[in-house]
Structure formats: structure tokens, C-alpha cells
Amino acid sequence: MSRVGLGDGAVDEEVERLKLDCQHELNQMRLAALAPNIKAMEERAQRVLALTRKPRMPVDVNLDALHELKQLELLGYQKATDHALRKGIAYALENKTAEKLRAIAVARSFFAKALARGATEEFKKATEMTLESASLTGEVRSDGPTRAKPAEETPQMVARAKNEQRGAKRFAEPVLAVTVASATFQTINWSISGMLLAECCPAGIEPGMETNITVLAPQRPPLLIPSRIVKIDGDQRRTALTYSEQSPPEVWAFFKKLILSKAQTAASATASS
């Protein structure tokens, strides 16, 4: 054992090294949790635990390290849950059913770990609703003419959101203002994966086209979303679109909060009745 200094001000080099090593592992664990890189996060967690078991590690440092470790695990598992759900929805929109189911299974696994580490009721409710939406989201169905189904055989397009994009759980409220091709329209309904716009047939826009839309919501900054046009109904003057995989995390967070606020409003109404 090496001690530097004299009297009560002496520094125990072994203890200081243990404290520095522990903080380094926690810092690296935080980076992995934010990524999220769960394998790396869990490896760093094991190193932190090993350091806290060292006989010379101060008790107060141990307690602080274990508390921070738990918080970082919660952060990582929550981010991994959201990441897996986003992948699941993206696979569903590409009609990749097997990949979608695997991603949802991964999300459920991380979700369980997040709950075990003290995830809030807000996160629990939002994730449960998002899991439901991800499970229901299915393939995009086109009612327009195709090579196998000529125009004269195509059934009339009906005004139901489920025909625009099968399975995605949609909400009519709140109504959102959305800018497409420099013009602003209102939503008929929206979901975590796309939306249906009323009175929307802008010139120069056609199915399959990639475009940026801007969502204008009350008391929130404008939200730019890379999107793809799914279908344009000229008779009904409606446009259906889906969000791109390249959409930033803020898009995911925005719609999760909208869904959660609806759940909270419904719960309040039930409690007061």
C-alpha cells in the first residue's frame, strides 16, 4: 500500500485508483447506454460491480456507484426498447413479418428489464401502447390499379383509414397541421408510423415519392419529418403518407407523447365518471 502526504492529509493511492477506475467504467457505461449498445453496457456494469467488491473501496463510493449503475441500466434498457420498437414498425411497413416479430420480441425483453429497474408508470403506459401499435401495424395495401388488377377492375376507394395503411392504430385527435409542398393541411388521423391528410392533393406529389413534411402542433416547435407518400386519393382529396426510417428520434418521442396524453385523458375521464 502506498500513501502520499503526511498526517491526516495522506492520500491512499490504491483507494484513489479504485475510485478513478470505477468512475471511468461508469462513464463508459453511460456512453453505451445512450447508444444504445446493451452488450457493452452490461459488460461495463459487471466491471463496476467487480470494483465495488474490492475490500479497499470506500462504502460511500460503493453506494453511489451502485445507484448510478442502476440508473444507467434503466436508461439503456429504455432506449433499447424504443430502438427495437422503431425497427419493428419499420419492418412492418416493409412487409417483413418475421423481422418485425423478432424486433417486437426484443423490445418486450428490454421493456421487462427496464420495468425491473424502476421505469416510471409514464414509460410503462407509453411503451405498452406503442407495443400494441407496432404489433398491429401491417403491410401497406394499395386499392389503386396495378398490373395484376387493371383500373376497370379496381374497387372504389373507401374513406376508411385502415385501407390507407392496414393495421396501424390511428387517432383522429388532436388534429395536427401539416405542411407538404409549401401548403398546409389538417390530419384526418395519425399514428406512430404515418398519417392521413384532408384536402391534400398538392401538385408535383405522387405515390412513392420521398418528401419532408412539417408538423405544426400547439405550444411546440415545428417538427420536420422525412416521409414517403403512400397514396393520393384525388376523388376524396386525401393523401396518406408514412414516416421514413431516417426520421430523427424527436419524431418518435413526439408521437409517443401524443399517444400517452390520450391515454391519460381517457383514464381521467373514466375516474371522474
d(C-alpha 151, C-alpha 146), whole Å: 7
Contact 73, 117 (CB under 8 A): yes
Tell whether the model's pLDDT for residue 153 goes beyond 80. no
Q: How many residues does the chain have?
A: 273
247, amino acid identity = S
Higher-scoring residue by pLDDT: 118, 216? 118
Average pLDDT over residues 114-133: 88
Cα separation, 219 vs 228, whole angstroms: 26
Show Cβ contacts of residue 165 under 8 Å, excluding neighbours closer than 6 positions: 93, 137, 140, 141, 191, 193, 194, 230, 240, 242
Residue entry with cell 424502476: 118
Instruction: Residue 89: name the closest of 213, 252, 261 by CA.
Output: 252
Tens of pLDDT along 174-226? 889 999 988 899 999 998 888 999 999 888 888 999 999 999 877 778 889 99
Band the pLDDT of 260: cuts 50, 70, 90.
confident
Please write the tens of the pLDDT for every residue from 133-147.
778 776 444 444 443
Residue 266 pLDDT grade (very low, low, confident, very high; cuts 50, 70, 90): low
Q: How far apart are CA 215 and CA 217, in angstroms?
A: 6
pLDDT at 84 over 60: yes
State pLDDT tens for residues 11-29.
Answer: 688 999 999 999 999 999 9
Indicate the range of 53-57, 93-97, 234-238 predicted with least confidence. Answer: 93-97
Q: What are the respective helix, strand and coil percentages of the chain, to the nearest 5?
A: 50, 15, 30
pLDDT of 145: 45
* pLDDT in the model for residue 162: 40
